[in-house]
Amino acid sequence: MLWEYLQPVTIRFGEGVVGDLTKVAAELGCSRGLLVSDPFFMKSGLAQKIVDASQGALVDVYSQVSPNPEVTEVDACARQIRAGGIDFLVALGGGSALDCAKAAGSICFTGDSIRKYHGTGVAMPQKHLPLIAIPTTAGTGSEVTCVSVLSDKELGKKGPIVSNAFYPAIALIDPELTYTLPPYMTASTGIDVLCHAVEGFWSKGHQPICDALALHASKIVFQYLRTAVKEPSNKEARAKMAEASVIAGLAFTLPKTTSSHACSFPLTNLLHIPHGEACGLTLDYFARINADAQDGRIHAFARELGFKDMYDMADAIHQLKVDIGLRCDLKEYHLTDEQVADLVRISRHPNLYNNPVDITDEMLDAMYQSMR
Ligand SMILES: NC(=O)c1ccc[n+]([C@@H]2O[C@H](COP(=O)([O-])OP(=O)(O)OC[C@H]3O[C@@H](n4cnc5c(N)ncnc54)[C@H](O)[C@@H]3O)[C@@H](O)[C@H]2O)c1
Ligand SMILES: [Zn+2]
């Protein structure tokens, strides 16, 4: 088996590390920063607090990032970077703010729209601004990945762009920033962590270092996600979920995600289900489909986590979703035959081909029919 492990992001973790921001920017040799964030952090005052604390290093804010960021937001952010003579970026928020900053920090050196690179196969330019990533969800793991997931409403697509230029220079992971995340978003982003870990493990691109990381992150999710959802101010649960999030990010960024992420794109695009919940919706289904693949290593993974086998773990994933209030079917949407056909068609996304078992349209159809 041939594999290579690469992880260029410096990770600084702990309560209060967001306070290191100014020092970190100076260490990077940067002096004119743009804070990229979303409207929640403008309203909460945290964005302004960070700008004020930066002693002039942050000179401007782009605050228009929406959940599942749009290509147009990336283009607007890149224009603001160019106009402001910006030499570094700070992304504060969930995966959406981080992904927008990653893409904008790369295309700002070109006159291009990000559309040129989104789902087109055109390689991203490698020149990019240094990015300090400060995640506020636990979460996407975007702070350590080379992925930026963008949406293009006009063309009806959502999907990842992968580029080595997207690795942040440093991730400041401060669990305190997740305390304000409401229970539903904690549940949704938390199940995303489990999807990253499990899918990274069974991806065709799996490799031993990422396997170990996947196991570590999955264990934490089963142990702490329920508490993080039910007791938002439980510091231990928040810190452990922040740890699981970054480690799951490391577990999937090289092997890449698989079937559940492929299906999440149309579920988010067409039915507006938030990313994590959309991924989690199909995770137990694919756990059953994949259970017997890869010569027993998928069952072995489940056993390491204390389950009888992957079928038993699939039941536990289902129960976890029930306990944290995530949906387990699509009944409320009263899907038409056409909508099911669209879900099947758009689920045929490149990530689907990383799945250990070949997924046919008939299998996707059977899955979505069972959820109607
Ligand atoms: N780049 C990657 O490697 C990667 C991996 C997985 C998913 N993603 C993408 O990331 C996006 C999802 O990111 P996300 O799940 O982190 O959510 P998000 O960034 O879309 O945020 C969702 C909502 O939660 C709010 N929020 C975030 N942190 C908060 C906090 N601490 N307190 C209160 N509210 C808060 C935001 O304001 C927003 O309204 C999707 O587009 C998904 O496809 C990227
Ligand atoms: Zn995800």
Condensed to tens digits (0 to 9), the pLDDT of residues 104-140 reads 999 999 989 999 999 999 999 999 999 999 999 999 9
Among 38, 99, 137, which residue has the most ligand 1 atoms within 8 Å of its CB, making it the best to mutate? 137
**pLDDT for residue 123:** 94
Under CATH, to which class is 10-178 assigned?
alpha beta
Question: Which residues lie across from 172 on neighbouring strands?
Answer: 12
Smallest CA separation from ligand 1 atom 34, residue: 181
Paired sense of beta strands 58-62 and 131-135, if any = unpaired
Q: What are the distances in angstroms from CA 340 to CA 244, 325, 330, 369?
A: 33, 24, 10, 7
Q: What is the pLDDT of residue 150?
A: 97
Alpha-carbon distance of 196 to 68, in angstroms, equals: 17
The token pair at 334 is: 């009263």
Q: For residue 108, count CB atoms less than 10 angstroms from its CB and return exposed for 0-12, middle for 13-18, buried for 19 or more.
A: buried
Residues of the chain with pLDDT > 90, as a percent, come to: 98
Nearest to 256 by CA among 357, 354, 158, 142: 354
Q: Kindly indicate the confidence band of residue 210, based on its pLDDT and cuts at 50, 70 and 90.
A: very high
Q: Give distance in angstroms: CA of 311 to centre of ligand 1.
A: 30
pLDDT tier for residue 250 given thresholds of 50, 70 and 90: very high
Mean pLDDT over all residues of the chain? 97
Q: Are 104 and 74 in contact (CB under 8 A)?
A: yes
pLDDT score for 55? 92
Whether 158 has a pLDDT exceeding 90, the answer reads no
What is the gyration radius of the CA atoms in the chain, in angstroms? 20
CA of 137 to the centre of ligand 1 (A): 6
Q: How far is the CA of 85 from the centre of ligand 1 (A)?
A: 27
Q: Average of pLDDT values for 224-253?
A: 98
Is 90 exceeded by the pLDDT of residue 208? Answer: yes
Task: Confirm or reject: Cβ of 38 under 6 Å from ligand 1.
Answer: yes
CA of 54 to the centre of ligand 2 (A): 31
* Secondary-structure class of domain 183-371 per CATH: mainly alpha
Amino acid 130: pLDDT: 97
pLDDT in tens, 78-102: 999 999 999 999 999 999 999 999 9
| Ordered DSSP codes for 291-322 | TT-GGGHHHHHHHHTT-SSHHHHHHHHHHHHH
- The per-residue pLDDT for 324 is 98
Is pLDDT of 157 > 90? no
Percent of the chain exceeding pLDDT 70 equals 100
What does the domain layout of the chain look like in residue ranges? Answer: 10-178, 183-371
CB under 8 Å to 51, separation ≥6 — which residues? 35, 58, 61
Summarised one tens digit per residue, pLDDT across range 3-59 is 999 999 999 999 999 999 999 999 999 999 999 999 999 999 999 999 999 999 999
- pLDDT over 90 (residue 226): yes
Strands 170-173 and 131-135: parallel
Kindly write down the DSSP assignment for every residue of 328-362, as one continuous string: ---GGG---HHHHHHHHHHH--GGGGGSSSPPPHH
Give the pLDDT confidence score for residue 156 in this predicted structure: 85
Average pLDDT over residues 322-332: 98
Looking at residue 1, its pLDDT comes to 83
